[in-house]
């Protein structure tokens, strides 16, 4: 199974001091809204350290919200709890105290949000396959007043091709639609056949018929980097949008975090020159109205990643403006 980027990105946390003084003028006057930023509780950092995962920075780089804002340089962030790792063996979870650990991680997110109410949209981590899933969604929504649901189909091993999984995802989307809750979804479950079929099921059997959908698909639909699978997923969505499928009226966006990689992450290679060119073509094909800016911090900092996108994808001024603006339903 493909290694999961959120662990490997820790090894490669952005070199915060690398170019602070020589920051490219291109981005210096841009207002950055970073739609994909991770925060980890000290408990989660300890767990991963105990698994031998090396962290390249001090703990506060990952856990302290003020440090995150200072390092990332974004004016506002979509902040993501990784509580779903506690039910995943691969991420260091085990079968004990899952619910308690999930609550703890989502509570930690809520505390960060309280410090910067206006600058943070907080996405709580949910594993759709746990029996306490809805209890936790309702707690985060009604008691903690958090903003959105983060799903990670790789960590939770969700297969829309499994009827039982499909029902669970459908009920989450229905709840989100009814309560107008945004969903940020890591769609790729790392199965070799993940792709067009999953997009079709999501469109036809989950989203069609819903009143309200605000869905951000992480990393252009796969697990970081840009490869054939990413192209297949994006192509499948473009086909639906172009054929006026019912999903085309909804706010469905794709975040470019961890896609335009100029450094290797474990199991995910940095892009070749040809791949940067292809990515640039695909961004134009998909349209910047459907693309949102995100870094997957701590993988990159906001200013650093924006500069990378500008130079590698050769973005025009209009494209940069379009990429960085708030996206509304189309």
Region of 55 please: left (phi>0), alpha (psi -120 to 50) or beta: beta
In whole angstroms, the minimum distance from the beta carbon of 37 to Zn ion comes to 8
- Please identify, using beta-carbon distances, which residue of 80 and 202 lies nearer to Zn ion: 80
- Please identify, using beta-carbon distances, which residue of 188 and 319 lies nearer to Zn ion: 188
In whole angstroms, the minimum distance from the beta carbon of 38 to Zn ion comes to 6
- Please identify, using beta-carbon distances, which residue of 78 and 130 lies nearer to Zn ion: 78
In whole angstroms, the minimum distance from the beta carbon of 36 to Zn ion comes to 6
Helices (H), the chain: 5-11, 25-28, 42-50, 60-63, 65-72, 98-115, 133-138, 163-179, 196-201, 228-242, 273-286, 302-312, 317-324
- Please identify, using beta-carbon distances, which residue of 105 and 296 lies nearer to Zn ion: 296
Nearest to 9 by CA among 315, 259, 311: 259
Angle between helices 273-286 and 228-242 (to 10 degrees): 20
Binding residues for Zn ion (CB under 5 A) = 296
- Please identify, using beta-carbon distances, which residue of 194 and 300 lies nearer to Zn ion: 300
- Please identify, using beta-carbon distances, which residue of 82 and 306 lies nearer to Zn ion: 82
Q: CA of 129: how far to CAs of 139, 145, 160, 162, 214, in Å?
A: 17, 23, 12, 12, 22
DSSP string over 65-90: HHHHHHHH--SEEEEEE-GGGGG-GG
Q: Residue 120 pairs with which residues in a beta bridge?
A: 77
In whole angstroms, the minimum distance from the beta carbon of 131 to Zn ion comes to 26
In whole angstroms, the minimum distance from the beta carbon of 204 to Zn ion comes to 27
Residue nearest to Zn ion (CB): 296
In whole angstroms, the minimum distance from the beta carbon of 178 to Zn ion comes to 27
């Amino acid at each position: 199974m493909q290694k999961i980027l959120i662990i490997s990105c820790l090894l490669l946390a952005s070199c915060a001091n690398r170019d602070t003084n020589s920051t490219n003028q291109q981005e210096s006057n841009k207002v950055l809204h970073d739609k994909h930023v991770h925060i980890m509780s000290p408990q989660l950092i300890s767990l991963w350290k105990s698994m031998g995962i090396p962290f390249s920075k001090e703990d506060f780089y990952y856990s302290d919200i003020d440090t995150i804002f200072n390092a990332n340089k974004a004016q506002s962030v979509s902040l993501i709890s990784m509580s779903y790792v506690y039910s995943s063996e691969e991420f260091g979870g085990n079968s004990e105290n899952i619910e308690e650990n999930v609550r703890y991680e989502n509570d930690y997110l809520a505390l960060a949000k309280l410090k910067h109410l206006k600058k943070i949209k907080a996405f709580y981590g949910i594993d759709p396959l746990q029996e306490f899933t809805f209890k936790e969604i309702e707690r985060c929504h009604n008691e903690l007043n958090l903003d959105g649901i983060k799903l990670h189909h790789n960590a939770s091993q969700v297969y829309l091709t499994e009827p039982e999984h499909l029902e669970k995802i459908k009920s989450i989307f229905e709840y989100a639609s009814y309560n107008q809750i945004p969903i940020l979804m890591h769609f790729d479950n790392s199965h070799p056949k993940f792709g067009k079929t999953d997009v079709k099921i999501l469109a036809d059997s989950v989203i069609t018929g819903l009143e309200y959908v605000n869905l951000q698909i992480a990393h252009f639909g796969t697990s970081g980097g840009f490869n054939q699978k990413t192209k297949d997923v994006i192509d499948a969505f473009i086909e639906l949008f172009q054929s006026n499928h019912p999903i085309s009226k909804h706010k469905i966006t794709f975040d470019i975090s961890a896609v335009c990689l100029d450094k290797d992450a474990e199991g995910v290679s940095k892009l070749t020159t040809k791949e940067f060119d292809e990515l640039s073509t695909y961004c134009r094909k998909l349209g910047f109205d459907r693309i949102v800016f995100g870094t997957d911090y701590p993988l990159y900092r906001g200013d650093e990643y924006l500069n990378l996108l500008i130079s590698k994808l050769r973005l025009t001024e209009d494209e940069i403006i379009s990429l960085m603006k708030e996206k509304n339903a189309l």
